[in-house]
Structure 1
Amino acid sequence: MTDTPERITFFGRLRNNFLTGLIICAPLAITIWLTFAFIDWADSWVTPYIPQRYNPQYYFDITIPGLGLLIAVVFITVIGFLGKNLIGRSVVNFGESILHRTPLVRTLYKSLKQIFETVLKDQSTSFKKVGMIEFPGPGSWAMVFISTEAQGEIAARLNEDGEEMLAVFLPPTPVPTAGFLLFVPKSKVVMLDMTPEDAAKLLISGGLIAPAWTPKTISE
C-alpha cells in the first residue's frame, strides 16, 4: 500500500507563498532601512557644521540624502592624505602629544587607536582565518577567529616547550560582539576554509546558515 501525497490546501499554499515572499522581502527591506538610517545618522552629525554658503540645500531648499556622509568621507580621506606627508605628520604628532599628557583621555585614545590600527591596517592578518578548538572540554568544539600569534611576555612564558601559541577570539551566539580571548597551542586549532564573514553568518544564525564547502583541501 503506497502512501498518497498529502494535498496542500488553498490556505496552505497561501501561507507558503507568504513565507517565501517574506524570505525575499525582509532581508532587502531591512538592508535598505539600515542603509538609510546610517546615512541619516551621518547627515545629522555632519550637516549642521557645513556653512550655509557651501551647503547646496540652502540654495535649492531640498534635502540631499547622503551629503553629510559624502563630506565626511572626503574630509577623512583628505586628513589621511595630509597625515602621510612630513608637515601633516608633524601636526598629528603634536596633537597626539597633547592627548598623551591628558589624564583619562590618553588611555581611551591609545586603546581606540590600537584597535583601529589592528583592524584597518592593510597588512594586518587579524580575523582573516577561522578555526575550531575543543571548548569547553574534550569532544565539544567551538568556532574561533584567529587573531595573531602570541607575542611579547605571553609568547615567552607560554612557548617554553617550543609549542607555538595562537591568540584566538571565541565569540558567543547569536551576538558575536563579545567573547573570550584565549591562547591556544597551534596544534590544537583545526583551521577552516570558510571566511570570517561566513563564520559570522553561521554564528549569528545559530548554525542554521552553513556556508557551502567543497572538500578540496583535504585531498591536497
Structure 2
Amino acid sequence: MRKYFVTGLLILVPLAITLWVLNLIVSTMDQSLLLLPARWRPEAVFGFAIPGLGTILTLLVIFLTGLATRNFIGKRVVLVWEAVLRRIPVFNTIYSSVKQVSDTLFSSSGNAFRKALLVQYPRQGSWTIAFLTGTPGGDVCNHLTGDYVSLYVPTTPNPTSGFFLMVPRADTIELDMTVDEALKYIVSMGVVTPDHFDKSNIIDPKKVPDPKQ
C-alpha cells in the first residue's frame, strides 16, 4: 500500500503544482481586464466571466507594444517617455534599476544566465553550479586584477535566492549543459540529471580495487 501511495504522489503532485502555477499566472494576468471600462468587461457583455481572456489581452498588449516600438517613431516615443520618467523623484531610481536588470536578462545579445558554470563554493574542493551574469563593472574593475566574471550561485531547492560572486574566469569550468537542465539539476538536489549525461564516467566505489591487496 505504501508503494501505491508513493506512486500516486509522484503522479499527482507534479500535476497539482503545475495546475496551481498556471492558475496563479492566468488569474494574475486576468487582472488586466480591470483596466477596461466596466461596460466592456465580459461580465457586462456576456453575463459571466471568461477565464483566460485577460491573459490573451495582456499578451496582445505586450506584442503590440513591442511591434509599435520597433520602428523609428516608436523608438523616439520611448526615448521621450523614459526621459520624462527619469525626472520623477523616487520613481526614477526604481525604474532605472529594474530596466537595467531587465535589459540585461532579456537582451538577445547579452550573456546573462546563458551559461552554466562549475565553480568551487563555499570552500576550496567543494563544487556547485553557477550561472554567468556578465563581468564586473564600475569601480569594482579598479580593484580586481586579471580576468574576472560575475556569477550567480542559486540555493537549493529554491533557485530564486542565492549569492552573487566575482571570481577569476580560470577558476570556473563551463558545462555542456543548458540553463534549464542546470536548474532542474539544482532544484532536484542532484537527483534529476540531464538526459545526455554520460553515466559511464561515474566510478563505482565497489569496483575500485583495494590498494592494500
Q: 1:140 to 1:113 in 2, by over 3 A?
A: same
TM-score, normalised with respect to structure 1: 0.81
Whether 1:24 aligns to 2:11 is: yes
Quote the offset at 1:175 in angstroms: 1.5
For residue 53 of structure 2, what is the amino acid of its counterpart?
A: L
For residue 189 of structure 1, what is the amino acid of its counterpart?
A: T
Whether 1:106 aligns to 2:92 is: yes
Distance 2:197 2:34 in 1: 52
2:135 aligned partner = 149
Distance 1:34 1:137 in 2: 36
1:182 aligned partner = 165
Quote the offset at 1:53 in angstroms: 4.9
Where 1:111 maps in the other structure, the secondary structure is: helix
From 38, 44, 60, the equivalent of 1:58 is: 44
Whether 1:167 aligns to 2:150 is: yes
Where 2:160 maps in the other structure, the secondary structure is: coil
Quote the offset at 1:156 in angstroms: 5.1
Quote the offset at 1:17 in angstroms: 1.6
Whether 1:123 aligns to 2:109 is: yes
For residue 5 of structure 2, what is the amino acid of its counterpart?
A: F
From 176, 184, 188, the equivalent of 1:205 is: 188
Greater shift, 146-155 or 200-209, is seen at 146-155
Deviation per CA, 1:43-70: give whole Å up to 9, x if none: 1x21122234544442321221111111
1:38 aligned partner = 25
Where 2:152 maps in the other structure, the secondary structure is: strand
Where 1:167 maps in the other structure, the secondary structure is: strand
Cα RMSD after superposing both structures: 2.2
For residue 77 of structure 1, what is the amino acid of its counterpart?
A: F
CA radius of gyration, larger in? 1
Distance 2:128 2:149 in 1: 15
For residue 61 of structure 1, what is the amino acid of its counterpart?
A: G
Where 1:146 maps in the other structure, the secondary structure is: strand
Distance 1:62 1:196 in 2: 42
Distance 2:63 2:115 in 1: 29
Quote the offset at 1:86 in angstroms: 2.7
Structure 2 residues without counterparts, runs of 5 or longer: 202-213
Deviation per CA, 1:61-117: give whole Å up to 9, x if none: 122111111111111211122222232223222221121111211110001001111
Distance 2:122 2:21 in 1: 36
Where 2:131 maps in the other structure, the secondary structure is: strand
Distance 2:49 2:40 in 1: 14
Where 2:55 maps in the other structure, the secondary structure is: helix
Quote the offset at 1:209 in angstroms: 2.4
Counting matched residue pairs gives: 200
